[in-house]
Structure 1
């Protein structure tokens, strides 16, 4: 015949009560949600229960800094973060929406519930995918240059002359430091004396993914083009002056 110590009886009783309580109420949340930066993501937290429920506290918390971003009695219009929307539905679901996603939003989020049926919490995670905001040519007196901005994660510029990689002839101009939103600006100059080539392919390479994110064609500056513009402008001014005098 087995003999139960007081400690063993307590653990058994605690396990029975916990199991019974878990059957009365469950909390389910979105798992891993991945989206490109500048997009929108919504984390859902749902309550499932068998008895009458009275919610005392229901919230989404960002684990990186412990800040409560959303609670069940929030007014979405009055939220101090204009990128964050919070909605509690009659179906006992708490939805946290992160708008215009930034790298700083990546990480774990906890959904917490306190009610008459007990205390529960569950986790969700946000993954920010690689992206870029835009690209533009950069003025260069010698060769060609281009710039990608709003890049995440950090990238590199690779140059191609048709199918030939000529990156070894280029110079990177980016500082390597992200801006306040966690984005990078990536730029490069390709020095070339070959004026017979009219354009080069400027491609954005993301080392962490081992893939090219985007590319753009950059044309060689027209030699003497700026001078031609100034001459045409001067002729136009002289012509207008002659008309006024005449």
Structure 2
């Protein structure tokens, strides 16, 4: 290696270090998204020197999502991205705004990249989706209780209760089916076989336990003689207490 090659090699290594000191990007490493709520990813450019000129700034996830050019014009590239989104730009901050996030689109990093007169830098953001499950439907089919949970993420298991008795793991194993929609949401349906206590007036309860936290995140209570059913959702911490509460309520009505 001659002197000219050595100097060139040293210069190439030195340029990224100098550029990183001049201009930086600030992005949140992780953003937690709730079901069916707006999510915003911010990318902020800052510099220790005056005269920063942004030539190009953009968000990508394998493919271009949106970018801003030197004139400050925002361009969106929707492609085949299933979650609706738009971008906002103001004073060196490019924000990627989703109306709601889908499970299929949180598997990979989002990258923000900046090209400027003071260097080229990039940063990554990961979106995590909170565990979720929605009580969707319940009924009695041939005196057999059946319940369905929709928009389940990441996965879950249905546990059945009859009055104060936990039927999970017993001989009366429920029939459970799972299906995945194009956006990555699970639908879980569980049906309990008819058993000897079917004619009793005690309520049934099916509770969805998350595979992520092992917590109950949704619950459905069924009360009736095979013709009617009552549903209750959004009982993440008290699902196991619901059969007891319904039993007491039932006894009060009978008094």
Query: What TM-score comes out, normalization by structure 2 length?
Result: 0.75
Specify the alignment match of 1:32 in structure 2. 30
Contact kept in structure 1, 2:143 and 2:226, CA below 8 Å = no
The answer to which of 39-48 and 16-25 deviates more is: 16-25
Aligned counterparts of 1:186 and 1:123: Cα–Cα separation in 2: 33
Aligned partners of 1:26 and 1:218: how far apart in 2? 57
Q: Is 1:17 matched up with 2:15? A: yes
Is 1:172 the counterpart of 2:175 in the alignment? yes
Quote the residue 1:193 is aligned against. 196
CA contact (8 A) 1:153 1:208 kept: yes
Change (3 A) 1:108 1:203: same
Can you list the C-alpha shifts for 1:80-106, whole angstroms capped at 9, x where unaligned?
A: 7771020001x2100001122110121
Shift of 1:9: 3.9
Equivalence for 2:150? 149
CA contact (8 A) 1:143 1:220 kept: no
Equivalent-residue separation in structure 2 for 1:216 and 1:25 (angstroms)? 54
Aligned mates of 1:122, 1:183 — CA distance in 2: 28
Q: Provide the secondary structure at the position in 2 that maps to 1:138.
A: strand
SS at the partner of 2:133? coil
Q: Deviations over 1:170-192 (max 9, x none)?
A: 42241x33111111111111222
Question: Alpha carbons of 1:79 and 1:207: their partners in 2 closer, same or farther (altered >3 Å)?
Answer: closer
Name the larger-Rg structure.
1
Instruction: Give the whole-Å Cα distance in 2 for the aligned partners of 1:222 and 1:43.
Output: 49
Structure 1 gaps, min length 5: 226-246
**Partner residue of 1:135?**
136
Distance 2:75 2:63 in 1: 17
Report the Cα distance in structure 2 between the residues aligned to 1:48 and 1:222, rounded to whole angstroms.
65
Cα distance in 1 for partners of 2:128, 2:191 equals: 32
In structure 2, distance between residues paired with 1:196 and 1:18:
74
Q: Secondary structure at the match of 1:100?
A: coil
Is 2:67–2:75's contact at 8 Å kept on the other side of the alignment?
Answer: no
In 1: Cα distance, 2:127 partner to 2:74 partner: 22
Q: Corresponding residue for 1:105?
A: 105
How do 1:60-139 residues align onto structure 2 when only pairs under 5 Å count?
60-62=59-61, 66-72=62-68, 73-74=73-74, 83-89=84-90, 91-106=91-106, 107-139=108-140
Check conservation: 1:25, 1:48, Cα contact below 8 A: yes
- Stretches of structure 2 lacking an aligned partner (at least 5 in a row): 229-255
RMSD: 2.6
User: TM-score normalised to the size of structure 1?
Assistant: 0.77
Instruction: Give the distance between the partners of 1:183 and 1:202, measured in 2 at CA.
Output: 20
Q: Which residue of 1 aligns with 2:213?
A: 209
CA distance in 2, matches of 1:155, 1:68: 33
2:42 to 35, 44, 47: 44
